Structures are given as C-alpha cells and as structure tokens.
Amino acid sequence: MSLRLIPAMCLSLVALFNLTAACADDAVEPRPAEWAQPVEAQYNLFQMSPTLYRSALPDRGAVPLLMKLKVATVINFLPESDSSWLAAPGIDQVQLPYRTNHVDDADVLKALRAIQAAEAKGPVLMHCKHGSDRTGLMAAMYRVVVQGWSKEDALNEMTQGGFGESGHFKDGVRYMMQADADKLRSALANGECSTSPFAACSMKNWFKSANVQ
C-alpha cells in the first residue's frame, strides 16, 4: 500500500466516525414538551403543570426550593409522615399512603381529589420514596382522568420519562391497563369514593346513609 494513501484513509475514517456520531445524535429524540420537565435532579423533581410537581422523598434541604416554587401543599404517598423534614409555615401536609401492588380505584380517586383540592390553593408537590412507582402511577392517572390523556401517552411518560428504573412500574402498568378511565372520571366528578358500589368505602357510605350501625 502506498504511504500516500494512509493519510487519506485516516481522514476517511475520521469523517465516517463523525458522521456516525452525528446520526446517533439525530436519533436521540428531544423530550416531549408535554411531559413533566426536570427541575432538580437531586430530588427527582419534575414539573407536570403550572400547579403540579412530582418528586422523590425531599429533605430539609429541599424546603427553600419548595418555597421558591411557591408550593402550598405536599402530598405524601408513604406511610411515614413528612413532619420530620417539613415544618415550613404556609405549606400544608396531606398523607395518603398506599402500595401499587394493592392499589384500587378508591386510592386513585382519593389522591386525584386531594390533588385537585390542593391545586385550588396553589402549586402542589406529590411524592413517594423514589418518585417513580407510587408517584408515577398517580401522575399517570392524573394525566388520563383529569387531563384527558390516552393511556398509551400516559404510560409512555411514566415508563420512559426518566423517573426511575423500568422495574418499578410493573404494578402501576398492570393497574392502568385494567382501569376504566371513564368510570373514574365520572366518579371523580360526582364525588363518589369508588367506581364500584360494592367497594368497602361505598358500602360504608351506604350503611351510614341508611343509619345502619
């Protein structure tokens, strides 16, 4: 091989590498504008709407940020209270513990109703421990039931939005696939605690209205 061909071959290889890298960059699609947008990576904090944020479990260091964001209510899906880290005046605390492997329509309606009531007072932050499974499911159900997203779009955001490992979502995905969005939307609008008249909360309300002790 002629020595004069070596520089030309090297330039060709460099050009090929640059073209491959450019194509790889082009293949990475930008984050959809309608998805929750990142705010603070340390807390897995994202903004879903002008009045709704989602995150992992915050700590005392997050309080100044929450106040800067004008968060008025923190909704906690964990069994442990937020009082250990949150004592800021003007920020209400709502605790709605649940587990994604035992979630039912009553849990979802309770959470969505709490979010809507809190949003009337100002921005809301909802969180669990990692900000992926429990928070992810309620975020997806908010998208579907309140904002009218399709299940497919909400599931894409939940599983591909960079909120956590894919293994965290299997229980939430299972619930979403069988959930009836129309029934949930109707129950939410009508103040019903569940989509089923035989749910524990529905039966409790019936006995109470019938004055059955």
**125-147: pLDDT as tens digits:** 999 999 999 999 999 999 999 99
Q: pLDDT grade, residue 208 (50/70/90)?
A: low
**98-130: pLDDT as tens digits:** 999 999 999 999 999 999 999 999 999 999 999
Percentage of residues in the chain having pLDDT higher than 90: 75
d(CA 11, CA 31): 34
Strand order through the sheet with 73-76? 37-40, 45-49, 52-55, 124-127, 73-76, 92-95
Residue 172 tokens read as: 């939430």
Query: Residue 29: enclosing H or E segment and its boundaries?
Result: none
**Interior angle at CA 67, CA 64 and CA 72, nearest 5:** 145
28 pLDDT above the threshold of 80: no
34 pLDDT above the threshold of 50: yes
d(CA 132, CA 124): 17
213 pLDDT above the threshold of 90: no
Close Cβ partners of 140 (under 8 Å, ≥ 6 residues apart): 154, 155, 157, 158, 172, 176
Computed over every residue of the chain, the mean pLDDT equals 87
Of the ranges 8-22, 98-112, 186-200, the best mean pLDDT one = 98-112
**At 169, phi and psi to the nearest 5?**
-100, -5
Q: Count the Cβ atoms, other than its own, within 10 Å of residue 36.
A: 23
